[in-house]
Amino acid sequence: MSSDYVVVGAGSAGSVVARRLLDAGATVTLLEAGGADVLPAIHEPGRAHELWFSEVDWGYMTEPQQACAGRQLHWPRGKVLGGSGALNGMIYVRGNRADYDAWSMLGCPGWSYEDVLPYFKRSEDFDAGESEYHGTGGPLRVISQYDPHPLTRAMVDASVESGLAFNADCNAAEQDGVGFCHLTIRDGRRESGASAFVTPASGDPRLTVVLNAAARRLCFDGTRCTGVEVERDGRSETIEAGVEVVVCGGAIGSPELLLRSGVGPADALLDVGIGVRCDLPGVGENLHDHLLSPVIAAAARPVPECLPGLQQLHMQLFWRSRGGLAAPDTQPIGFHVPMYDPAWMDGPADGFTLMGGLIRPASRGRLWLRSDDPAEPPAMDPRTLSRAVDLETLTDSVEMCREILRQPALAEWTDRELYPGPRVRTRDELRDYVRRTAITYHHQVGTCRMGAGDDAVVDADLRVHGVEGLRVADASVMPFVTSGNTNAPSLMIGEKAAAAILAAAGTEISASA
């Protein structure tokens, strides 16, 4: 099997890349390790948690995290058409202007906020109409106009009472403040990258979508990538690329595939018996993630079911824990259910949760191969909360959530705070609680970092350093994580990648088309 381009991974970025190359007239093979997105819980908002540890979740577990009471953290990642965009919270947050301007200054020309804004708008079909900050007519439906759940409205009102400004659009001029989430939902159903970009083109004969195809290694002729070896139905086959291979496996899958193909730190490759194709020390490094820690309340009255077609979570706020920051460093979110840790928490079914959120982490870890067996998951050590500033900031965010819980707007909903609870009073006690409860925000990034330094893996056009015919396009290329959920930035990265690929091939596409 061969085509002009082979795209590895049908997640958010991969779906965009495949569709844009297809629209430009190329033949495209899109490879996905998982199967079709047929489970009802994928499409019905509010049920994504049912998919964790299922056949559509890679079910990754980190190494024990010393600064998190020695716990292993579960990292749900999508193994299905749509990738992690089929399991996520459907929240559409682009990040902060300062994120992208910093990327540009750190050796990534063409990635400033003004550079990337047109690519965000290109994907978007925004329900409130076109503006300086939003696009219409793109494949991806983004909604902002819906009737909020009454508890959601109370959470927002309580946040304002605590001193935060109301912000109707965190994806516009200013990010700071509290408001209702923008969501990727169309007609009451999840809108993933695959459902928006790939499914509508499924009848095009120039697009071949290969499901249940696990990419085992990249194929090379010298230093040029020529295709991908996949395992499907217990058999190995090679998918050839006439022009380029684009790896879109995410912050875990992309570095893993490079490493298994001999592209990565030479010493680490030789340690597991893999020959070195290209010595790239940065592959698998710079691993980091956003974090959450819960404040859980028992409800003073039954919490109504959520509105049909909307999920449980659609309130968020962006807050700076201290002065002098270029962007908010915390992003608490609200849930209409008590998010108990089943290992040690219990309480009434009627309750709700405010999650403290850390979104500008300083801690960095790495990913590496345990062996040359492609069936063995890589080892992941993000070194969560290893930097003191991260623990302090997440603790500040939890304190902010406790303060919001005490406001008059939530009085009619709140019976009592269950967790951290009245026994947690001092700052040290709250730090200890955060260490015991911190979990992923589902936003791992950075393991194929974009830039020009010795630790960079791809250049500003997302071409892998030291080889030809190979790019990486997904959240792994972020030099540092954006200030907010990472699905929207991943879609934008897919748009930017496709534009760079087609420009190199002499087929320009307009970011405003």
Binding site per annotation, positions: 80, 441
Residues paired with residue 368 on neighbouring β-strands, in sequence order = 379
Binding site per annotation, positions for substrate: 441
DSSP letters along 22-69, please?
HHTT--EEEE-SSB-S--HHHHSTT-GGGGTTSTTB--EEPPPBGGGT
Q: Residue 85 CA to chain centroid, in angstroms? A: 8
Please state, in angstroms and rounded to a whole number, the distance separating the CA atoms of residues 330 and 321: 7
CA angle 346, 347, 353 (to 5 degrees): 100
Strands (E), 85-155: 124-126, 140-142
Residue 189 and residue 183 in contact, taking contact as beta carbons nearer than 8 Å: no
Residues paired with residue 315 on neighbouring β-strands, in sequence order = 180
Q: Is 288 a catalytic residue?
A: no
CA angle 305, 307, 308 (to 5 degrees): 110
Question: In one letter, which amino acid is 349?
Answer: A
Please state, in angstroms and rounded to a whole number, the distance separating the CA atoms of residues 15 and 184: 15
Please state, in angstroms and rounded to a whole number, the distance separating the CA atoms of residues 436 and 275: 41
Binding site per annotation, positions for FAD: 80
Selecting among 49, 74, 443, 465, the annotated active-site residue is 443
Catalytic residue numbers, as ranges: 443
